[in-house]
Structure 1
Amino acid sequence: MELLIQKMSDSYMSMRDMANVCDIKDLKYFRESYITPALEEELLTNRSTRNNNIG
């Protein structure tokens, strides 16, 4: 996970872009081993998640 954080820029990056920066080809492995733990520890934010105010 530290590798991911060290190599990321402060701007938006897609999961594929982040995997490319880390030289990881398998996106499923990357998501399960890097992205999910980083999201759970709140080291990353998911910019595709939006608050829907209904009602």
Structure 2
Amino acid sequence: MIASAQAHDRAAVLLEVMADAHPEEAEAHLHSAARHRRWADNDRGLADEYAPDGPVF
């Protein structure tokens, strides 16, 4: 789950860079970036909930 959260964070950063580079598509990229950030937060929560030795973060 941690690796998945990190991958979603990286995807969000890339989408934010793409939004800056392509203003005509910025809104769509920023919506996608926000979605990836929510997924990353969710994955971190699941990692904390199911970690065998307690919270990871």
Q: Name the TM tier (shorter chain).
A: 0.3 to 0.5
Identify the structure with bigger relative contact order (alpha carbons < 8 Å, sequence gap 6+): 2
Q: Which structure: larger Rg? A: 2
Query: Which of the pair is proportionally richer in helix?
Result: 2
Tell me the TM-score normalised to structure 1 length.
0.32
